[in-house]
Amino acid sequence: MSPKTASGGTSSPTPAGAGGRAGPTLVVLAAGQAKRYGGVKPLAPVGVAGEAVIDVLASDAMTAGFSDIVLVVGPETGPSIRYHVERTWPESVSVAFAAQAAPRGTVDAVLSAARQLDAARSFGVANADDLPGPAALRLLAEHLAGTDPSHAIVTFRLRDSLVGEDPVTRGIADVAPDGTLRGLDERRLVAPRSDGRIVAGDGVQPGELDPGSPVSMNLWGFRPSIRPVFEAAMADAGDAEVLLPEVVGDVLAGRRPVPDGAGRVVVLAAPGRCIGVTHAGDVALVQAELAAQIGQGERPASLWRAAHR
C-alpha cells in the first residue's frame, strides 16, 4: 500500500507501512448497512472535535503498532466513507479500500480485502463502529508481530462492552484453562438494568449474565493459514451470509481443518472498555466517554500523532 491510497480502490501491499513503519495490517469492516443506526455508522461524529468513529479507530490502531489500514466498504456507503477519508486523513496514513459487492457477511468482507493484503503476513480485523482503544489494539498488534502461530481474539468484560441501555448482541467466550478459545455463545437482546444486573432477553438460559464474562467485539487476529478456510466456507455457503464466529467455531470443533494444524485461537483479555455505536442514541454517550478519557489523560486530545512520526 502507498500512503493515503484513497482513490482507485486497489493498490499493491508492501512489507511496511507509511514512512517505513513495519507492523501488521488492520482490516476494518465498514460495509455494514447499519439499519438500527439509520446512517453511516463509521462516520458517526464521536470525537471532541467531531472526528468520526473510523478516524479515532485508525488513529488508535497506528498508535498501537499497526502500519496499514484496509477499509472494506459497501456500494451504498462506500463513496461517503472514501470521500471522508480522502479529505481528512493525513497523507502519511497508509490506507487502501476494498469493495464488498453484496452483504454476504464478515467472512466475505475479510476475503474482499485479500487483494490488498500480503499473502504471507498476518492481519487484524476490527469493526468500523467500535472503539476498542489503543491498549487492546496493542495487545493484538504485538501478538501478530510475535512468534506464536495461533490466531487471536481480543475479549472485553461484558460490563465494559455496553454503551447505554439499548439491547445488543454479544458473543460470550468459552476460554480453556490454557487461555485458548473453545467457542462463542451468542446472546441476543443483552442490556444492563438499573440495579447493575445484565440480562439477555433472548429466552436462553441463563437469563442473567455475569458482568465479568469475556465477550467478543469482533476484534480478531489471523495468520495467513486462515485464508483457504474462509474461501472454502464461502464456496460452501452459496449466496448465504457467513460470519467470522461461525467459521472460527467450525475450526475449533474440527469441522474445518486449518492447513498445518494451525487451528488454535488465543484469547487476549483487554483492559478498559470497548465503546461503539449501535443505535443513534449511542453517539452522545460515546462522545462523552471519549471526552472523559481525554480529561483523565487516557488518550491524547488530538488524533494521528503516530502518523506524523
Domain presence at residue 139: yes
- Supply the CATH number for residue 100's domain: 3.90.550.10
Under DSSP, is residue 92 helix (H, G, I), strand (E, B) or coil?
coil
309 residues of the chain, pLDDT tens digit each: 546 654 334 333 333 333 445 799 999 999 976 566 567 899 999 999 999 999 999 999 999 999 999 999 999 999 999 999 999 999 999 999 999 999 999 999 999 999 899 988 999 999 999 999 999 999 999 999 999 999 999 999 999 999 989 899 999 999 999 999 999 999 999 999 999 999 999 999 999 999 999 999 999 999 999 999 999 999 999 999 999 999 999 999 999 988 776 789 999 999 999 999 988 889 999 999 999 999 999 888 899 876 655
Domain that holds residue 218: 21-154+214-263+277-300
Domain presence at residue 124: yes
Angle (CA) 266-155-65 rounded to 5° is: 75
Domain presence at residue 116: yes
Give the model's pLDDT for residue 6.
Answer: 41
Domain presence at residue 31: yes
Domain presence at residue 186: no
Domain presence at residue 54: yes
Domain presence at residue 196: no
Domain count for the chain = 1
Cα first-last separation, the chain: 18
Residue 115's CB: how many other CB atoms inside 10 A?
A: 15
Give the model's pLDDT for residue 10.
Answer: 38
Give the model's pLDDT for residue 17.
Answer: 39
HSE-up of residue 70 (Cα within 13 Å, Cβ side): 28
pTM over cut 0.75: yes
269 φ/ψ angles, rounded to the nearest 5 degrees: -80, 115
Give the model's pLDDT for residue 39.
Answer: 78
HSE-up of residue 91 (Cα within 13 Å, Cβ side): 0
d(CA 175, CA 181) in angstroms, rounded, equals 5
d(CA 30, CA 138) in angstroms, rounded, equals 21
Domain presence at residue 185: no
